[in-house]
Amino acid sequence: MPDALMLFAAGFGTRMGALTADRPKPLIEVAGQPLIDHALALAEGFGPLRRVANAHYRADQLESHLAPRDVTVSLEDPEILDTGGGLRHALPLLDADPVFTLNTDAVWSGPNPLRLLAETWDPARMDALLLCVPLGNAVGRKGGGDFDILGDGQLSRGGDLVYTGAQIVKTKALHAVTEPVFSLNVIWNQMAEQGRLCGLPYPGQWCDVGHPDGIRLAEEMLAADV
C-alpha cells in the first residue's frame, strides 16, 4: 500500500491563458478553493500520506501556499522535467515505492479516487494502476479517450476511457530512463508490453480544469453534487 503521494503542480498552465499570467495553475480557484487544495482534500480524506508537490513556474507562490500544509516541494530548476522526470526527481522526498500520483488540474465528484486505487491495487500483477473515467463522465474533456480496459484489467491504447491523472505506480523503471526530461508514458509503454499496466474505471464524475471553461464546469458539477 503506498504511503506517499506525488502532486503534479509544475506545469506552465498555458491553456489557461491570462489566468496564469500572475500565478501557477494549481493556485487558480474553483468554488472558492485553489485547485491544489481540492487535491489535498482527497489526500486528507484518504488518510496519512507523505505528500510531495513538484514546482517550477512561479514556484515561490506555490511554496508559500504549501508551507503550512505539511507538503514538501520538489523544485524543478532550471528546467521543467515532465511527469516521468519530475516523479524521479522527487523520489528522495517521497521515500516510497510504489507511490500515488495525482494531477492538480482536476476536480472530482464521487468516491475518493485514492481509496478506490488502494482497494484494487495488486502488486503481484500490476506495475501501475491508472484510474480512468468513461468519456461521458469526463466533464470539460476536449478530445477523445486514452485507453480501453481489457477483460483482465490490462490497459490498451485507444478507447473511450480518459486517464484522470490518479494512479498507483511502481518507480523502479524510472531509473532506467536516460533522458532527464520524459513523460510517464515512457514507462507505461514498457509496463503495457509486459502486461502489467492496469486500469480501473471511476464510477463518478471528473472535470478537467486545464482550460478556462473548466472552472465554470467544475463549479457546476460540484454544485450539483451537494
Residue 45 sits in a domain whose CATH number is 3.90.550.10
Q: Measured between alpha carbons, how far is 14 from 116 in angstroms, rounded to an integer?
A: 31
What pLDDT does 226 receive?
63
pTM across the whole model: 0.96
| pLDDT (average), residues 210-224 | 95
**Which residue range(s) make up the domain with 129?**
4-225
pLDDT, mean over the chain: 96
The 10s digit of each residue's pLDDT in 51-107 is: 999 999 999 999 999 999 999 999 999 999 999 999 999 999 999 999 999 999 999
3 state DSSP class of 200: strand
Report yes or no: 4 and 48 within 8 Å, Cβ to Cβ: no
Which cell is 89 given? 526527481
Q: What is the DSSP track for 21-43?
A: SSS-GGGSEETTEEHHHHHHHHH
* Total of domains in the chain: 1
186, 178 Cβ separation under 8 angstroms: no
pLDDT of residue 1: 81
